[in-house]
Amino acid sequence: MYHNFPYSTPEAQGVPSAAIAKWIRRIRSLEYIHSFMLLRHGHVIAEAWTDPYQPEFKHRLFSTTKSFTSAAIGFAMAEKRLTLDDKIVSFFPEAKDWNVSDKMKTVTIRNLLTMSSGHNTCAICTYLDNDGDPARKLKNWVKGFLESPLVFEPGTKFCYNSGCSYMLSAILRKITDLNLMEYLQPRLFAPLGIEPGERETCPMDIDIGGWGMKLRTADLAKYGQLLLQKGKWNGKQILPWEYFELATSKQISNAPENPQPVTDPEYICPDWEQGYGFQFWRCQNNSYRADGAFGQYIVVMPDQDMVLVATSGLVNMQRILTATWELILPELKERAITDNFCAQAEVASLCRSLHMPLQQGDLTKRGEDATYEFEENSLKIRSCNVSFQEDSCEFVFHTASAPEKLSAGFGYWKFSFCKFDDFETTRYASSAAWNEQGELELTVCKVETPFFTRIRFVFDDDKLTIHEKTVRRFRTADWPVLNATKK
């Protein structure tokens, strides 16, 4: 148990199980849902984790982090540390020696919250290396933001901009001497029983604010339910709700002024045109959401007294929202309805059936244990010990820093921890099989992220060649082709 929510049959909360079964059948066809929890009237009515993802794993949230940054600003306002109309340059007296434009001097906290700083592109993207490696190009991100050019008058145009979220985090650090996660710990995380995962920071050790948090699915559900309950938890007012009424309502339009015709109906995304609050997105059906890349969702539906949370690796993020609006909301009842035991059994079966596809091929063949030395490569892999067990294989890569061990099961997922080209050590789940060409192929899920990859090992006498293809990515490149010779 990773939460204290009560469980209920869907019908007891006025939701037909048949509607949930239709919804699960729809979303399991998407690439890929990793987990979901559906709550109504404070009860969990359906939940599932797609194998090999598990309830205890913390999942990288990307921009869902922004809505937690918004919470921190709400707390700071309640503590009289800042106001919506404060000029952001006022928090950084060192900026008097920087090249700050007159427009930038008018940017306020409100403008940062509503993504209306006056930029026409995400300011923070210019701070990153092309492949998104956390070895950031620019050390002082605050200076970089305050010196960046503004195209529009602040407050007039919405432009999605993680730099705005970062500056909110930087201001919080300035006025409290605490990072975002530290500041939220006693105010939000501890009361909800949330233990966050690792944090991502800029080169000055400031929490990025626009992304960087890792939480469990149940933690997202707690935050969503707290919002649905207007900031109350166990009878106590946790969130300053006067601020959150603004934060979760439409503060600025984000609909395109000159929309272009979309020929593919799969990529019509109305839930990105309903308005924007303070680091929250408005949705259809008078709902709102925290939203992270690849479908990391907290969707709050006040009119229906419902919360949907999900972690995902989606190509098209709109589709899970559309499925909810089309298949669940029209079927909701105000009161309990008669149990449909057959449909409840179908929901349970569908939840158990969710899985990422295992690597397909010959599961009976095994290879030769050996050690290989690599040609010089950008991953700094020097050698690799390859070994085969009864039902699995293992690769120990010796790098310039530390060994990386990758294990894979034949016909099942096997877990290991690796870093390779990521910024942090990540839990991997891998499965292996031999293809028709006699090559060993691995499907590797980075189960604390939306990403998965495929690795192909080509054994040719005393040679080994490794090919990698990342199937889901965010500012990352494929590995180079790695060539090695048997020792």
- Residue 362 domain flag: no
Boundary-marking domain end, from 327, 353, 379: 353
d(CA 112, CA 94): 20
Provide the CB-side half-sphere exposure for 413 (13 A, CA): 19
202-252 confidence digits (pLDDT tens): 999 999 999 999 999 999 999 999 999 999 999 999 999 999 999 999 999
- Residue 410 domain flag: yes
- Residue 204 domain flag: no
> How would you classify the pairing of strands 381-388 and 370-374?
antiparallel
| 375-378 long-range contacts, CB within 8 A, separation 24+ | 375/482, 375/483, 375/484, 377/480, 377/482, 378/480
Q: Which of 43, 46, 109, 102 is nearest to 74 (CA)?
A: 109
Provide the CB-side half-sphere exposure for 282 (13 A, CA): 20
Same domain? For 254 and 328 the reply is yes
Same domain? For 230 and 347 the reply is yes
- Residue 385 domain flag: yes
Average pLDDT value for the chain? 93
- Residue 399 domain flag: yes
d(CA 161, CA 220): 23
**CATH number for the domain that contains residue 343:** 3.40.710.10
Same domain? For 51 and 76 the reply is no
Same domain? For 185 and 248 the reply is no
Q: Which of 92, 239, 246, 245 is nearest to 172 (CA)?
A: 92
Please answer whether residues 90 and 109 qualify as being in contact, where contact means their C-beta atoms are separated by less than 8 angstroms. no
Statement: residue 261 has pLDDT above 80: no
d(CA 467, CA 445): 16
Same domain? For 337 and 375 the reply is no
- Residue 203 domain flag: no
The strand ranges marked E within 313-425 are 370-374, 381-388, 392-399, 403-410, 414-418
Boundary-marking domain end, from 353, 380, 405: 353
Same domain? For 294 and 406 the reply is no
Same domain? For 393 and 314 the reply is no
Same domain? For 228 and 285 the reply is yes
Statement: residue 39 has pLDDT above 80: yes
The 3-state secondary structure of 213-249 reads CEECHHHHHHHHHHHHCCCEECCEECCCHHHHHHHCC
Longest alpha-carbon distance in the chain: 71
- Residue 396 domain flag: yes
Boundary-marking domain end, from 353, 378, 413: 353
Total residue length of the chain: 487
Same domain? For 71 and 51 the reply is no
Give the per-residue pLDDT at 423: 67
Amino acid at 345: A
228-242 confidence digits (pLDDT tens): 999 999 999 999 999
**CB-CB neighbours of 437 under 10 Å:** 9
Q: Which domain holds residue 137?
A: 65-190
Provide the CB-side half-sphere exposure for 366 (13 A, CA): 13
Please answer whether residues 73 and 172 qualify as being in contact, where contact means their C-beta atoms are separated by less than 8 angstroms. yes
Q: Which of 369, 459, 478 is nearest to 420 (CA)?
A: 478
469-481 confidence digits (pLDDT tens): 887 666 566 789 9
- Residue 137 domain flag: yes
The neighbouring-strand residues paired with 263 are none
**CATH number for the domain that contains residue 459:** 2.40.128.20
d(CA 199, CA 208): 8
Contacts of 363 (CB under 8 A, 6+ apart): 410, 411, 433, 434
Helix H or strand E encompassing 72: helix 65-78
Tally of domains in the chain: 3
Please answer whether residues 410 and 433 qualify as being in contact, where contact means their C-beta atoms are separated by less than 8 angstroms. yes
pTM: 0.95
440-474 confidence digits (pLDDT tens): 999 999 999 999 999 999 999 999 999 998 876 66
Same domain? For 70 and 183 the reply is yes
Contacts of 486 (CB under 8 A, 6+ apart): 370, 371, 372, 462, 463, 464
Q: Which of 427, 441, 432, 468 is nearest to 34 (CA)?
A: 427
Give the per-residue pLDDT at 135: 46
Same domain? For 228 and 330 the reply is yes
Mean pLDDT of 35-64: 97
422 Cα distance to chain centroid = 15
- CA-only gyration radius of the chain, Å: 24
288-324 confidence digits (pLDDT tens): 999 999 999 999 999 999 999 999 999 899 999 999 9
Statement: residue 16 has pLDDT above 70: yes
Statement: residue 432 has pLDDT above 60: yes
Same domain? For 344 and 223 the reply is yes
